[in-house]
Each structure stands twice: as C-alpha cells, then as structure tokens.
Amino acid sequence: MISMGIQINPSDLYYKYRRNKELRDEPKFTGKPDSNPYDRDDLYDVIPMLSAVMDELQCRDGNVLQRLEELAGDEMPKFITSREEVFDFLVNVIGDLLGQPTGRGASNVVREEA
C-alpha cells in the first residue's frame, strides 16, 4: 500500500497540465500492479504518480519533483505506457540520481485492496 505521505498541489508543479475532467473521477495510480495507461499530460494522472514516486523515494525536495516532471513528460520513452511501467522507470532513474538502491522494478509498493 502506498501511504500518501506527500501532498502535491498543482501550484507545486513546474509545468502546467491539462485537466481531463471527463476522466477526473476514474481510479488513479495507487500502487502496483497497475496496467492501466498513464496520461503524461493529464494533471489528474500526473499528481498521483509523482506523489507515489516521491513517497517511494522518501523525498520532499522540490528540485527532485521538478526533475521527475521532466522525466515523466519529455524524457521518458514513449513505449513506456502503463502506470506500473512509469512508476518503475521514475523510481529507478531518480533513485539512481539520488544514489538510492531501487531494485530495478522490484518495488514493494502494492495496491491496497478495497
């Protein structure tokens, strides 16, 4: 289960994102496994993903958040499409930059069952 310890607001983000209001109430990323597609341009997908990655890395640094935005937006390969793949990619890349062992996708983040 992800303990959403960090709260990210739209004003915390460096970039501006569209708000896909039609999908706003759809379930968002809460942990792995999650094979649903990730929309890197939708605020309602971006915030839960960045929050989950920051929580996983136990980081609250605004510079790291901005770097995550850059990675998730422009630098992440387009073949990475599912939320789980995005999460693993971001955790691994930022973890490497921070010098944290990440386990290459073996994160112990698991979706809480309702």
Q: Is 45 within 8 Å of 39 (Cβ atoms)?
A: yes
In a domain, 112, yes or no: no
Which domain range does residue 55 map to? Answer: 10-98
Number of domains in the chain: 1
For the chain, 114 residues long, the average pLDDT of each consecutive 10-residue run is: 70 91 85 91 93 92 92 90 94 88 52 43
| pLDDT of amino acid 109 | 47
CA separation for the pair 64, 88 (Å, rounded):
16
pLDDT score for 73: 87
Q: Does 114 map to a domain?
A: no
| 52 in any annotated domain | yes
Q: Which of 56, 48, 45 is nearest to 92 (CA)?
A: 56
* φ, ψ for residue 72, nearest 5 deg: -70, -25
In a domain, 110, yes or no: no
Residue 103: inside a domain? no
* Residue 55 included in any domain: yes
**What is the spatial distance between Cα 59 and Cα 76, in angstroms, rounded to a whole number?**
20
Flag whether 18 is in a domain.
yes
Rounded Cα gap, residues 57 and 60, in angstroms: 9
Decide if 4 is inside a domain: no
